[in-house]
Structure 1
Amino acid sequence: MPRPRLTGKMTTSEAGRELGMGSKKFLRWLKRGVLPPPSFIDNNGVRYFDQGWLQDSKKILRIKGGST
């Protein structure tokens, strides 16, 4: 049964895709603290990201030049 969608929130794969990253790199950067923590984590541990998070993360990527 599919999970209900949170309006205005992106899943991990959607957020990574918006930033132009593969899922492994995206999760690694989250774990290392390069990117801000998720906007919301549900009771099952599913991470969700909102537009504010996306804007902040894009600023970080511009500063870092997109690489580690």
Structure 2
Amino acid sequence: MVNIPDCLGYQLESALHLLNKLGYDVIIEETYGKRSVKTEDVRVIRQKLLGNNQLQLIIAYF
């Protein structure tokens, strides 16, 4: 079983730094809240292991 760090709620930069350091290839998908405005506060709201050391992060702007 693979131990993947739980990055939910992390700021995107922190999550990418941690996952890249551990050797994961990260695919980022964006989603928007009610305001549909890009802000500086970008956080991970979902993560999914795709296989072959690939992780998908769904991010949202707050």
TM-score by structure 1 length? 0.34
Kindly indicate whether structure 1 or structure 2 has the higher relative contact order, using CA contacts under 8 Å at least 6 residues apart. 2
TM-score by structure 2 length? 0.36
| Structure with the higher fraction of residues in strand conformation | 2
| Structure with the higher fraction of residues in helix conformation | 1
